[in-house]
Amino acid sequence: MKKRDIKIFIDFDGTITLEDIGEAIFRKFGSEEKTNIIVNDLLSDKISSRQCWDDLCDSIDSVNKQELNDFIDSLDIDPTFIEFVKFCKDNEIKFFVLSDGFDYYIEKVFSKSRLTGIKYYSNKLFIDNSGSFSAEYPYYDADYPTSANCKRNHIINNSSDEDYTIYIGDGNSDKDAAQYCDFIFAKNDLLKYCSREKIGFYPFDNFSDVQNKIAELIKKKNLKKRHQAELKRKSAYLAE
């Protein structure tokens, strides 16, 4: 049997990590009340993800960089993700991390867990000498405002018609992107969204669940792509 080409796209905050690190930083070093208001505005579609991050950056007066780094170091990834990375490498499956968060803490989190060479796309966070935050969005697409880093575009740019695509996520920034993939693993807000919109998905708690299910999918003789995802991808490829 011809080896199947599988591409996996994985959210970072709350999926690879045990909690949303981006939100946790602003709750700790900014105002809990302001953070809640800004995040609720995002979740109710009053503001875009980019506006949300800009507002959150503005909500912080100053931060001690060492205290910030120590806080990031105190936060953990899902321990089953490390085995999942090995599983992907052993099975020659390409995966990409798509984060609506920031490179600043992603690099530190991966380094702490000794995870090297992982391809990821994210927004960029800068902290100046006075401790102020600012952000840049190299992959922003105004047509897809639920993620300041357009995850949908990364899926299109890193897959083809021949690929079987898998999405693993948990939140608001995954809603648009997941619809372009054949198999969706969802929890938390993404699970609720897929349930509400009648989009097929596999629920998961950790990466052991995902790994076991993908191992099953690999062995299937007749693996079918999700029709709606195929249509969305074809439309996107034609528009390129």
**CA distance between the termini of the chain:** 32
Q: Could you read off the pLDDT of 47-93 as tens digits, one per residue?
A: 999 999 999 999 999 999 999 999 999 999 999 999 999 999 999 99
Superfamily of domain 6-239: HAD superfamily/HAD-like (3.40.50.1000)
**What's the pLDDT at 4?**
80
Domain ranges for the chain, please list them.
6-239
51: exposed, middle or buried (Cβ count in 10 Å: 0-12, 13-18, 19+): middle
**What's the pLDDT at 239?**
78
**Could you identify the residue written with the tokens 């648009």?**
176
* Per-residue b or e along 105-141, where b marks 16 or more CB atoms closer than 10 Å to that residue's CB: bbebbbeeeeeeeeebbbbebebeeeeebebebebbb
Give me the DSSP letters along 49-118: HHHHHHHHHHT-----HHHHHHHHHT--B-THHHHHHHHHHHTT-EEEEEEEEEHHHHHHHHHHTT--S-
CB contact at 8 A, 124 and 91: no
**pLDDT tens across the length of the chain (240 residues):** 456 899 999 999 999 999 999 999 999 999 999 999 999 999 999 999 999 999 999 999 999 999 999 999 999 999 999 999 999 999 999 999 999 999 999 999 999 999 999 999 999 999 999 999 999 999 999 999 999 999 999 999 999 989 999 999 999 999 999 999 999 999 999 999 999 999 999 999 999 999 999 999 999 988 999 999 999 998 988 876
**What's the pLDDT at 1?**
41
